[in-house]
A and B are shown apart, each in its own frame.
Chain A
Amino acid sequence: MDLELDALSVVTDGRALVRDLSLQVADGQVVGLVGPNGSGKSTALRCVYRALRPTSGVVRVGGDDLSRLTMRQSSRAVAALTQDGTVDLDFTVEEVVALGRTPHLRGNQPLGRRERELCERAMRRMDVHHLARRGVLTLSGGERQRVLVARAMVQEPRVLVLDEPTNHLDIRHQVELLSLLRGSGLTVLVVLHDLNLAAAACDRLAVLSQGRLVATGTPKDILTAELVREVFGVDADVVPHPLTGDPQLLYSLSPSPSPAPPNGRAASCP
C-alpha cells in the first residue's frame, strides 16, 4: 500500500511548518525523512497519523484520501510510533502492546486467540517478551521504546510511520529495529537523525529544510558533502561503506563551530 503526501502544507500561527511537501513512498519501500531540528519532519508525520490536520494538501494511503476516512479506518492502515512516548498509567507491557489492537476491536471487546498470539510474537520480536508482566513505567527508555514498536506492529498496519524510533535504543537494538523495518515488507516513512543509519536502512531519503523538501532520492545520490553542509551546516566526508557501498558520513569536529567554508573543504587545502 503506497503512501503519498501531495502538496502538504501546515501553517500554525502564521508560521509555515511544512510548505508544499510532495513525497511518494512506494509499496514496501522504506523512506527516511531527514533534516535539521525544526525542519518540519515530525509535523509532516503527524499529518500521516492524523494527530494534525494539514492546512492544505492531501495525504493518500493506497490511493484513499485520509481525510475522507474515519480515524478508526485510517488507523487500521497506518500505525505510528510517535515521539510522545509517555504513558500516564502503569500498564503492564502486555497491556500496552494489546492496545495496538484497538482499531480492530469494538469497545471493550477482548482480544481473540489469534490476536493474543500476535502480541506474543511482536513482543518476542522486539525482545520485550520477558518484560510482559512488568509495568511500563518501571522500564528504561529503550525498553519502553521497543514496547511501543511492538504495539505499533500488532496494529497490523500496511503503512508504518516512525518518529525517531531509534531514540533511547542501544546500538544493537537500533540496528535490529532498522533491519526489522527493512525486512517487514511494510511501507515505511521514518524520521531519523542518524544519517549513517538512515543511509543504511532506507531505500530513499527525503531531506527537509525549513519545511521544504530540498532533495529526494537514493542515499547514494543525495547524501553528498555539499548537501550535508548546506542543509545541516556540518562538514563531513562521505565514504562508501566497505561492505554495502551505502554512503557513510565521517564528521570532523572543528574546535570552534564556524559557518561552512564557502568553497568546500578542498579549497582549504593548499
Chain B
Amino acid sequence: MSPPATTPPSEAVDGVDGSAPDGPTHPAGPADARGRPGSRTGTALTCALLAVLLAVSVLLAIGMGSAVIAPGDTARYLWAALSGGRIAADEVTAYQIVWQIRTPRVLLAALVGAGLSAVGVAVQAMVRNALADPFVLGVSSGASVGAVAVTVTGGLAALGVHAMSVGAFVGALAASLLVYAAAAGRGGLSPLRLVLTGVAMSLGFQALMSVIVYLAPDSEATSTVLYWTMGSFGAATWGALPVVTAVVLLGVVLLHRRSRVLDVMALGDETAASLGVDPDRHRKELLVVASLVTGAMVATSGAIGFVGLVVPHLVRMAVGAGHARVLAVAPLAGAVFMVWADLVSRTLVAPRELPLGVITALVGVPVFILLMRRRAYLFGGG
C-alpha cells in the first residue's frame, strides 16, 4: 500500500503538515514478530475453526463415557432424537444414555465454558485487574450460601428439584447487589474498590456458609457446599437447559456488543470520559450482565474455577487485546475447553467423578504458565 496520491486537504489533524507523508507503510520488521491475526477475516476464520472443533468435541464427548458409543452411532441417535426418527429396540439403552444423560450434560458444559470465558473477559476489563474472574464479585460464594440455605431450611420446597438452583441464583444476585451497594460511593464505582469489596464479601459469605454447615443437623449441607464450590455438570437435564442457554447466549451477545466500550475502558476512566464513554454507567451495566450470566451458570453447575480467569488471558495471547476479537474467540475456546474438561472429569476415574474444578486447574495451570513464559504477554504494564 502506497500513500494516497491525493490527500484530502486539511483534516483537523493536518495543521502544519510540512513533511511529505512518505514513510514506509507498516514495515514488517521484528515488531511484527508476534503475528496477531488482527484482521476481521482472520478472526472469522479462527472462529469458524473453533466452531468446527466444538462440534466435533461435542460429538466425541457425547459418545465417550462408561459406555463408549461410536461417533457415527452418536450422530445417528442425535439425528433420530431431533428428527423424530426410529431406533431399533436393542439400541434404546444406548440412545437414552446419549440423548437423556450425555447430550444435555455436554451442551451445558459447552454453554458454561462459553459464558464463564466471556464474562471473565468483561470482568477483567471492567475492574481493570488481571486476577479478576467471574467470581471476584462475590457471585459464587453468594450462590453457595443461597443453595446451602435452601438445603438446610427446606425453603422453596414448592419449586421441587429446582429449589436449590433457584436458591443459588437468588444468592448470587443478592451477593452482587450487596457488593455493588457497598462499593458504590460518591466517587463513582471505582474498579479497585469493586474488586476489594467483592473479595471481602466473598470471605464473608464463605464464613456464613461455614456457620450454616456447622450448625446444620444433617450432613447433606456439607455435600451441597462441596458440589457448589467445585462445580459439576452431573445434574444437567433438558429441563434447565433452555433457560441457561438463553441467558448465556444473550449475555455473550450483549458483552460482545460492548467490545469497543470495553476497549475504551481499558484506557482508564479519564480517557474513557474524554472519548464520550461514561465509565461508571457502563461499569454498572456490565456488572448487571455479568452477575445475571454468572448467577445462572453457578445455579446449574456450581462455581467452576479457573476457566473464567485463564481462558481470557490465553485468548488475548493468541489474538491480541481488542475485545471484538477476544469476545468472539473466547466463548468458543472456553466451550471447547470445558467440554473436554468435563469428559476427563467423568472418565478418568470412572465410575467415580472428579470435581471439575480440579480438572480445570490441573490442565489449565501448566498450560497457562508455559504460554506466559514463552510469549511476551503484558497486562497493565506488568
The smallest beta-carbon distance between A187 and chain B, in angstroms, is 11
B160 at interface, CB cutoff 8 A: no
Measured in the bound complex, the distance between the Cα atoms of B36 and A133 in whole Å is 9
- The reply on B90 being an interface residue by CB < 8 A is no
Whether B32 sits at the interface, judged by CB under 8 Å, is: yes
In the complex, which residues of chain A have a beta carbon less than 8 angstroms from the beta carbon of B26? 132-133
A56 contacts across to B, CB distance below 8 A? none
Contact A137 B23 (CB under 8 A): no
CB closest chain-B residue, reference A158? B12
B91 within 8 A of A: no
Q: Given the complex of chains A and B, what is the CA–CA distance between A104 and B15 in angstroms?
A: 21
Q: Does A82 sit at the interface, judged by CB under 8 A?
A: yes
A41 to B186, CA, bound (A): 22
A109 → B minimal CB distance (Å): 8
Which B residues between 321 and 373 are near A, CB-CB below 8 angstroms?
321-322, 324
Binary A-proximity of B271-293 (CB < 8 A = 1, otherwise 0): 10111111000000000000000
Tell whether A107 pairs with B260 under 8 Å between CB atoms, given A71-B278, A90-B377, A154-B13.
yes
Q: Does B154 contact A (CB under 8 A)?
A: no
Which interface class (under 10, 10 to 19, 20 to 34, 35 or more) fits A? 35 or more
A140-167 vs B, CB cutoff 8 Å, 1 = contact: the mask equals 0000000010001111111000000000
Q: Give Cα A183 to B14, complex, Å.
A: 9
Q: Is the CB of B274 within 8 A of A79?
A: yes
A3-11, A116-124, A224-232, A250-258: which lies at the B interface? A116-124
- Partner of B381 from A86, A108, A183 at Cβ < 8 Å: A86
**Which B residues fall within an 8 A CB radius of A?**
4, 7-8, 11-17, 21, 23-27, 29, 31-32, 34, 36, 38, 40, 125, 128, 256-257, 259-260, 263-264, 266-271, 273-278, 316, 320-322, 324, 376-381
A-B contact pairs, 16 of them (CB 8 A): A49-B273, A80-B271, A80-B274, A82-B271, A86-B380, A88-B379, A95-B38, A108-B259, A117-B4, A124-B21, A133-B38, A137-B378, A137-B381, A138-B378, A156-B13, A185-B12
Extra 17 A-B pairs, beta carbons < 8 Å, given A75-B275, A135-B378, A180-B16: A50-B273, A86-B268, A88-B268, A89-B321, A89-B379, A90-B379, A91-B321, A92-B320, A102-B277, A103-B276, A105-B260, A117-B4, A121-B13, A125-B13, A135-B321, A135-B376, A182-B16
